[in-house]
Amino acid sequence: MNSERYLLVIGADRPPALLSRAGAQLPGFGLQRRDFGKDLTLFAAPGLGVVQHPSLVVIGQMSDATPALLAQCETPDELITESWGNYLALGLGTDGKPHWVMRAPLGHLPAYRRSANGTEIIGSHPDLILAVTGEKPALAWEFVGRHLAFQHLQTTETGLAGIEELLGGESLEQGPNGAWHRRQVWSPWTWTAQSREIGDPLRARQDLRASVERAVAGLIPRDVLCLLELSGGVDSSILAAALAGHKANARAATLVTDEREGDERIYARAVSIATGLLLDEVAVTGAVNLARPASMRSARPGLPRTLSLADDLLAEKARAETIGAFVSGAGGDCVFCSPASAAPAADVLRRLGISRAAWSAVDALARIHHASVWDVAKMAWRQARERTAQSQWPRTTGFLAQDALPTIAPVHPWLAEPADVLPGKRSHVRAILAALAHVEGYGRHALAPSRFPLLSQPVVETALRIPSWLWIEQGRDRAVARTAYSGFLPASVLDRRTKGGLDSYAIAMLARNRNALQPFLLEGHVSRSGLLDRQRLEAALARQPRRGDADTYLLFPLIDTEAWVRAWLDEP
């Protein structure tokens, strides 16, 4: 059982009935009660770390914090300068009452919030909050529309009415009148400033490797058996090298599908030999029923239904081998700045003008994307000249009905960018933000948590300080990361230009489920809510799924959303 479950009840006037209900309901979830003064009650799983200092309570996993810092810390700002991890911190005043609550920057210990009559309820899972309040789950249909229209953007908003989320790097602070308000304590834009830039290529490689090793050492205790999801790609292979260097109690698993692009065993085996990690090759075979409810209730649509079989197989391994943590390279493409446009060359043009360095960046991008240097140069020039702030998140019309299509994206503090931001750094930050939307809602997390070292505070802060053009040197994406681990990993892995994937696997699964998906989607909750363009959806479901068909790919988030809705509601 995953030990990272907790619920906090904060407030001077906490209703006795609420605490009574919590005391009756939460032991059934394996949580134990602990009081910190009159205004703060914690219910936590026995294995969840809880540390109390005179002015501070820390819940979860914190790294690099000295006892002196924790004993004297009075503000969230002080805490994040020296420490990091997957934690929730509560600042206590001299009266012993909580005055602020902060979720760790880039921390993956969830913090869902429900406010009720002066009482703050903060929990790791929405079902814990609902158990304490006694409320029936009510879906926020406005969220569903925004979720489908503004994909890969996760904000404070959840799909459950009355429940929101405290984002990583945000604090909830109590004002003089007793009201609680949010404040952004940590911002990625602090680390993109030119004054913090690591412009020397050698130092960039050294600092990046040191940050990965620091993250692995801080997140993975040596006495915990962990399972690395090893694809054989650059990102997970780097984690294999870092785990081996840390002498972690680790083994690796690579997933193998019937499709050629889903079989990367040749690379995973090479990494296993180089690092000494024992490798299990897990065949992902069999049919998956896409037209059924999600297996777990989460605050938002989480696990893609096409990955449910792989998720089940990893959960089986966790049960059989007593895995204490999964380790994932998720987000590596984004953190290591794999470019999706000509933005790195635009950054050089902004900084150095038309120069040899600019042409070098254009040439590198042309090789990465197999494009014409002139096309890349024109795109870079256009991006370099564009000075208008682009705070709006891209919108996808998808299968949404025209009158139900949201026009304004939900607000996220990272989208308030500096006026002088370089195009490449804007893309870098937004890619990391998009990656953070896909690390929760996996069924295997009920057994053991996942650790995401590449999406941790030390690695992200270091990566953001490295100029975008260094990441594309010699016509290779993620060049700084590749070179940083030269000599630690096989050249066949570090130099590979191809990338495995699950597109063919997912499309084949979609084709097998076509008949069942028609009533599932056309007569489902989302369709009956009036959000969808039924005519377009019917036409898409009538066609054979195939690569290159945009509607084929738009079906996947709609399937995941309908499955998530059905996990909360009865069948329509």
Q: Are strands 112-116 and 164-165 parallel, antiparallel or unpaired?
A: antiparallel
Task: Evaluate if residue 321 carries a pLDDT over 60.
Answer: yes
Average pLDDT over residues 487-505: 86
Instruction: Find all residues with CB under 8 Å of 148, minimum gap 6, and list them.
Output: 396, 398, 399, 400, 531, 557, 558, 561
What single-letter DSSP state applies at residue 59? E
Helices (H), ranges, 341-390: 343-352, 356-369, 373-385
CATH architecture of the domain 197-335+434-494 equals: 3-Layer(aba) Sandwich (3.40)
In 3D space, the residue among 30, 25, 22 whose CA is nearest the CA of residue 2 turns out to be 30
In this predicted structure, what is the pLDDT of residue 390? 63
Average pLDDT over residues 302-309: 89
What single-letter DSSP state applies at residue 400? B
SS3 157: strand
In this predicted structure, what is the pLDDT of residue 233? 92
- Write down the domain spans for the chain: 6-186, 197-335+434-494, 513-568
Q: φ, ψ for residue 254 (rounded to 5)?
A: -120, 135
CA–CA dist 369, 190 (Å, integer) = 30
In this predicted structure, what is the pLDDT of residue 9? 95
- Residue found under tokens 């690796």: 252
Q: What is the mean pLDDT of the chain?
A: 92
- The answer to whether 191 touches 106, Cβ cutoff 8 Å, is no
In 3D space, the residue among 300, 291, 298, 295 whose CA is nearest the CA of residue 146 turns out to be 300
What single-letter DSSP state applies at residue 330? T
Stretch (H or E) spanning 510: helix 503-512
CA–CA dist 212, 453 (Å, integer) = 7
Task: Evaluate if residue 39 carries a pLDDT over 70.
Answer: yes
Angle at 103 between CA 448 and CA 318, to 5 degrees: 5
> Which two tokens mark 118?
């002066």
> Which two tokens mark 349?
């043009």
Task: Evaluate if residue 257 carries a pLDDT over 60.
Answer: yes
Stretch (H or E) spanning 487: none
CA–CA dist 327, 335 (Å, integer) = 16
Task: Evaluate if residue 285 carries a pLDDT over 90.
Answer: no
pTM across the whole model:
0.96
Burial class (CB in 10 A: 0-12, 13-18, 19+), 201: middle
Report the Cα–Cα distance between both ends of the chain, in Å, rounded: 32
Stretch (H or E) spanning 121: strand 119-123
Instruction: Find all residues with CB under 8 Å of 565, minimum gap 6, and list them.
Output: 139, 144, 524, 525, 526
More confident residue, 570 or 120: 120
What single-letter DSSP state applies at residue 27? G
In this predicted structure, what is the pLDDT of residue 391? 64
> Which two tokens mark 219?
């997140």
CA–CA dist 132, 134 (Å, integer) = 6
* CA 148 remoteness from chain centre: 17
CA–CA dist 249, 221 (Å, integer) = 8
Q: Write down how long the chain is.
A: 572
In 3D space, the residue among 25, 112, 99 whose CA is nearest the CA of residue 55 turns out to be 99
Handedness of CA 230, 236, 242, 248 (dihedral sign): negative
Average pLDDT over residues 232-243: 96
Task: Evaluate if residue 389 carries a pLDDT over 60.
Answer: no
Asked: is 6-186 a CATH 2.60.120.260 domain? The reply is no
Task: Evaluate if residue 531 carries a pLDDT over 90.
Answer: yes
In this predicted structure, what is the pLDDT of residue 510? 92
Count other C-beta atoms under 10 Å from residue 142's C-beta.
15
In this predicted structure, what is the pLDDT of residue 388? 62
Q: From the DSSP assignment, how many helices (H) and strands (E) are in the chain?
A: 23, 17
Count other C-beta atoms under 10 Å from residue 154's C-beta.
21
* DSSP line for 94-120: TTS-EEEEEEPTT--S--EEEEETTEE
Task: Evaluate if residue 260 carries a pLDDT over 90.
Answer: no
Average pLDDT over residues 522-536: 95
Instruction: Find all residues with CB under 8 Å of 465, minimum gap 6, and list them.
Output: 191, 192, 196, 197, 198, 207
- The answer to whether 493 touches 246, Cβ cutoff 8 Å, is no
Residue 153: band (very low, low, confident or very high) from pLDDT cuts 50, 70, 90: very high
In this predicted structure, what is the pLDDT of residue 385? 85
- Residue found under tokens 């229209």: 149
CA–CA dist 549, 75 (Å, integer) = 51
In this predicted structure, what is the pLDDT of residue 17? 84
Average pLDDT over residues 239-263: 91
Residue 206: band (very low, low, confident or very high) from pLDDT cuts 50, 70, 90: very high
> Which two tokens mark 245?
């260097």
Give the residues across from 56 on adjacent strands: 53, 91
- The answer to whether 143 touches 151, Cβ cutoff 8 Å, is no
Residue 61: band (very low, low, confident or very high) from pLDDT cuts 50, 70, 90: very high
In 3D space, the residue among 260, 254, 355 whose CA is nearest the CA of residue 313 turns out to be 254
In this predicted structure, what is the pLDDT of residue 116? 81
Going from the C-alpha of 415 to that of each of 188, 208, 332, 424, the distances in angstroms are 10, 25, 21, 14
- Residue found under tokens 């949010």: 182
